[in-house]
Amino acid sequence: MVSGSPTPSSAPERLEEVLAAVEDGVYPEPDGAVVAVPAVSGAKAGVVGFTGRVYVVGVDQAFVDARLRTWDLGHAFVPPFLADLVDAFGVAPESVDMLGLASPLPGPPPLALTPIEDRDHPRVRRALGYRTEVRVWSCTGGTLILGRGLAGRREIALEVDPEHRGRGLGRALATSARHLTDGPLWAQIAPGNAASVRALLDAGFRPVGQEVLLVR
């Protein structure tokens, strides 16, 4: 279940538990803490933030406490702290993304989608670099990707060809994804990509946080 309004609670110790609780509408305690959590699948390290609490993945609490204080939440997403993560892991960060979350929907998707089974297809190969259990579909003008990403969560990615943009295809792809998943679905969206933000919001994804990952 994906609940509509946050319900603060004491935060679990592992990111998998944090994400599962958020999927159930139970959000971390907004106490200003920056909490170190163990490494998870899907990234070498990262920073995942919710209202009033931030989690740093793959380091110990001493690493965090040496650099950040309580309520230094925004500082966990800016170059000085991220540069220290880069030095520690030797991996460059991806973009800082908004996190969206949506519940599954019953019935068939609204788009006619064709599965792409070829593992050597360029978009499949690219998806496999970031996710497991990857499934890919195509339609006229677009591609939809579902898979397991950070900490095993269900994730969506989509692409709309330039000549098909501005016609609602992104929204239709995102809505279709909700019909093709068997549980809550996460989306990572660059805030500056306003078209994608609008498409995901229109498809029923709710903003729940932000993150930056060090993947490879």
| C-alpha to C-alpha distance for 174 and 202, rounded to whole angstroms | 9
DSSP state of 164: G
Concatenated DSSP letters of 2-51 = --SS-EEEPPPSSHHHHHHHHHTTEEEP-S-EEEEE---TT-SEEEEEET
The domain spanning residue 182 has which CATH number?
3.40.630
Domain extent for 165: 99-211
Same domain, 103 and 207: yes
- The reply to whether 2 falls in a domain is no
Total number of domains in the chain: 2
Residues 18 and 77 in one domain: yes
Do 154 and 70 sit in the same domain of this protein?
A: no
Render pLDDT for 61-71 as a digit per residue (tens, 0 to 9).
Answer: 999 999 999 99
Q: Does 150 score more than 90 pLDDT?
A: yes
- Would you say residue 148 lies in a domain? yes
What is the token pair recorded at 96? Answer: 């800082």
194/20 Cα distance (integer angstroms) = 28
Looking only at the bridges linking them, the beta strands covering 26-28 and 7-9 are parallel
Domain-terminating residue out of 93, 119, 140: 93
Whole-prediction pTM: 0.92
- Regarding whether 199 and 106 lie in a shared domain, the answer is yes
pLDDT tier for residue 130 given thresholds of 50, 70 and 90: confident
pLDDT level of residue 6 (50, 70, 90 thresholds): very low
Question: Is the pLDDT assigned to residue 151 strictly greater than 60?
Answer: yes
Q: Which amino acid type is present at position 81?
A: F
Is residue 216 one of the residues assigned to a domain?
Answer: no
142-148 β-sheet, strand order: 33-37, 53-57, 45-50, 206-214, 97-102, 185-189, 154-160, 142-148, 132-139, 114-115
**Whether residue 129 sits in one domain with residue 52:** no
Place 117 in a pLDDT band, splitting at 50, 70 and 90: confident
Q: Are residues 84 and 154 in the same domain?
A: no
